[in-house]
Amino acid sequence: MHHLRRKLSRRALLRGAGAALGLPLLDAMFQAGCSDPTPTETRRVVERGTGWPSVRPTRLVYIVVPNGFVGEQWTPPDEGPAYTLTPHLQNLAAHRADFTVLSGLSNLVIDALGAYHTRALATLLTCTAVDRQRVSGGVSIDQVAASYLGRATALPSLELGTTPPHAVALSCDGAWGCLWADNIAWAGPQRPMPKDADPRSVFNRLFGGALGVHEAGAAWQLRQTRRQSVIDFALSDANRLRTSLGANDRVRLDQYLSHVREVEIAIGRQQQLPLTDVMAPTDSVDLTARFETMLDLTALALQTDRTQVVSLAHGFSFFNYTYPTLLGAANQDGHHKLSHYSGDPGSRDLHATVCNWELAAFGRFLARMKSIDDGARRCSTTRWWCS
Contact yes or no for 77/70 (Cβ under 8 A) = no
Whether residue 265 has pLDDT greater than 70: yes
Asked if residue 348 is part of any domain, the answer here is yes
Same domain, 368 and 290: yes
Q: Do 293 and 350 sit in the same domain of this protein?
A: yes
Question: Which residues, in sequence order, are CB contacts of 64 under 8 Å at separation 6+?
Answer: 121, 124, 184, 311, 312, 313, 314, 386, 387
Is residue 238 included in any domain, yes or no? yes
Residues 267 and 280 occupy one common structural domain: no
| pLDDT-above-90 percentage for the chain | 27
> Same structural domain for residues 224 and 210?
yes
For residue 297, is pLDDT > 90? yes
Q: What is the tally of structural domains in the chain?
A: 2
Say yes or no: 134 and 279 in one domain. yes
Do 175 and 280 have their domain in common? yes
Provide the mean pLDDT of the chain: 78
Instruction: Give residue 185's identity as a one-letter amino acid code.
Output: A
Do 190 and 158 share a structural domain?
A: yes
User: How confident is the model at residue 218, as a pLDDT?
Assistant: 63
115 and 179 housed in the same domain: yes
The residue-averaged pLDDT of 294-323 equals 90
Residue 37 placed within a domain: no
- Among 272, 290, 311, the domain-final residue is 272
Tell whether 380 is covered by a domain: yes
**Residue 98 lies inside a defined structural domain of this protein:** yes
Residues 184 and 217 in one domain: no
Instruction: Check residue 270 and give its pLDDT.
Output: 72
DSSP class of 22: E
Range of the domain at 225: 206-272
Among the candidates 228, 246, 272, a domain finishes at 272
Residue 34 maps to a domain: no
User: Based on the domain organization, do 245 and 179 belong to the same domain?
Assistant: no
Entry pTM: 0.82
| Averaged pLDDT for residues 342-369 | 94
Q: Are residues 79 and 218 part of one domain?
A: no
Same domain, 282 and 368: yes
* pLDDT score for 85: 95
Tens-place pLDDT, residues 196-241: 998 888 988 888 755 555 555 566 666 666 556 777 777 888 888 8
Confirm whether 6 is domain-assigned.
no
pLDDT recorded at residue 318:
76
From residue 257, give the alpha-carbon distance in Å to each of 169, 187, 262.
Answer: 43, 33, 9
3-state SS, residue 326 = helix
Strand partners, 171: 177
Is 170 inside a domain boundary? yes
pLDDT-based confidence at residue 135 (cuts at 50, 70, 90): low
Res. 174: pLDDT tops 70:
no
From residue 179, give the alpha-carbon distance in Å to each of 72, 117, 123, 189, 190.
32, 12, 12, 12, 11
* Residue 148: pLDDT over 60: yes
- pLDDT value of position 326: 92
Phi-psi region of 40 (alpha: psi -120 to 50; beta: other; left: phi over 0): alpha
